[in-house]
Amino acid sequence: MKAAVLREINKPLEIEDVQTGNPAPREVLVRTVAAGVCHSDLHFQNGSYPYPLPAVLGHESAGVVEAVGADVTYVKPGDHVITCLSAFCGHCEQCLTGHMSLCGEPELQRAADQPSRLAKNDESIAQFLNLSSFAEYMLVHEHAIVKVREDMPLDRGALIGCGVTTGVGAVIHTAGVEPGSTVAVIGCGGVGLSAINGAAIAGAARIIAVDMVASKLELARKFGATDVVNASEVDAIGEIREMTGGGVHYSFEAIGLKQTAEQAFKILGFGGTATIIGMIPVGTMVELHGPEFLMERKMQGSNMGSNRFRVDMPRFVDLYLQGRLHLDDLISGRIRLEDVNEGLAALETGEVARNVIMFD
């Protein structure tokens, strides 16, 4: 099969012929239909987050089940599925206490003495975040997929596999945004727009979108933003404090920078909560002004929207088909696997929400 392989940091991905084996007892072979090009892929491609190489990147995807292992009963060939990088074991402390997105049990990968799920001739290739969806097929653990209704377009379904679940989930699960509250979202890429959409679904009364690109702020209004702040033109902190009479109840940082993480905290009102969704590079320290904690301001992280993805994703599918989750506007373009490097480069400009790789 064709796959996009990262062999060196800060080098283009190479389209290569890669082999994948037959499903082991609890594995599923999925034919990839669509894969979003996410900013997280760029973080690993440029070395912000170290990862074993060579590796096939990609983690936001949807496809059709091709074959199943002997012990798999959840899906069968022909089923439509969305993948999730935060696969779960179902029996560790995190899973049993309702924090499935934090499961890190090694049984979700193959053991060291087993053949690699991906290989090129005699060379083992690392599987990326349990998935590796920049490939024509994915061989995954059965707990890395969720079955969805067949009338869901899979290019939109792929977006639910990461960006939508991360953004909407951060609002409804991690932060628990309440109806009538005030919300600010810093960064209007795919995850930020999903957070805005999630805040609208949650019933927030005022949703302030913050970005430096005017076209993305206009797009944010389609997702539910009631106000926009162009941080290239005004002091975003001062503007939001003035707009809200002291700060918001909830803020979300969806870029992954020290500066914007600190801004998310500074725009809170008394008792407010800042949730960091963006992937801040390894080694970066975020600084906060200690006395502000006396006002019961809080900062917290979110991993994949604190999801319970086998429950959440089918619900998100329903919300899309009801017209309440605005996935169509998230797709900036549909590209081929051979165009993956152009898709990654487009993320650097900040102009796109998502390019989606479509497979034949």
Q: Kindly give, in sequence order, each residue whose CB lies less than 8 Å from that of residue 23, ignoring residues fewer than 6 positions away.
A: 29, 67, 68, 69, 72, 139
Pair 201, 169: CB distance under 8 Å: no
Q: What is the pLDDT of residue 256?
A: 94
Say what the pTM is.
Answer: 0.95
Out of 28-32, 45-49, 101-105, 328-332, the most confident range is: 28-32
Catalytic (active-site) positions: 38, 40, 43, 59, 162
Beta-bridged to residue 30, according to DSSP, are: 65, 138
Q: What is the pLDDT of residue 354?
A: 87
Q: What is the pLDDT of residue 349?
A: 78
For the chain, percent of residues with pLDDT exceeding 70: 100
Q: Do domains 2-147+327-358 and 167-302 have the same CATH topology?
A: no
Q: What is the pLDDT of residue 102?
A: 95
The pLDDT-based confidence of 350 (bands split at 50, 70, 90) is confident
Q: What is the pLDDT of residue 215?
A: 92
pLDDT averaged over the chain? 96
Decide if pLDDT at 16 tops 90.
Answer: yes
Q: What is the pLDDT of residue 104?
A: 87
Q: Tens digits of per-residue pLDDT, 244-299?
A: 999 999 999 999 999 999 999 999 999 999 999 999 999 999 999 999 999 999 99
Domain locations along the chain: 2-147+327-358, 167-302
Quick one: fold of 167-302?
Rossmann fold (3.40.50)
State mean pLDDT over 122-147: 97
The CATH code of domain 2-147+327-358 reads: 3.90.180.10
State mean pLDDT over 184-196: 96
Q: What is the pLDDT of residue 160?
A: 98
Decide if pLDDT at 98 tops 80.
Answer: yes
Decide if pLDDT at 348 tops 90.
Answer: no
The pLDDT-based confidence of 186 (bands split at 50, 70, 90) is very high
State mean pLDDT over 148-153: 97
3-state secondary structure the chain: CEEEEECCCCCCCEEEECEECCCCCCEEEEEEEEEEECHHHHHHHCCCCCCCCCEECCCEEEEEEEEECCCCCCCCCCCEEEECCCCCCCCCHHHHCCCHHHCCCHHHCCCCCCCCCEEECCEEEEECCCCCCCECEEEEEHHHEEECCCCCCHHHHHHHHHHHHHHHHHHHHHHCCCCCCEEEEECCCHHHHHHHHHHHHHCCCEEEEEECCHHHHHHHHHCCCCEEEECCCCCHHHHHHHHHCCCEEEEEECCCCHHHHHHHHHCEEEEEEEEECCCCCCCCCCCCCHHHHHHCCEEEECCHHHCCHHHHHHHHHHHHHCCCCCCHHHEEEEECHHHHHHHHHHHHHCCCCEEEEECC
Q: What is the pLDDT of residue 322?
A: 97
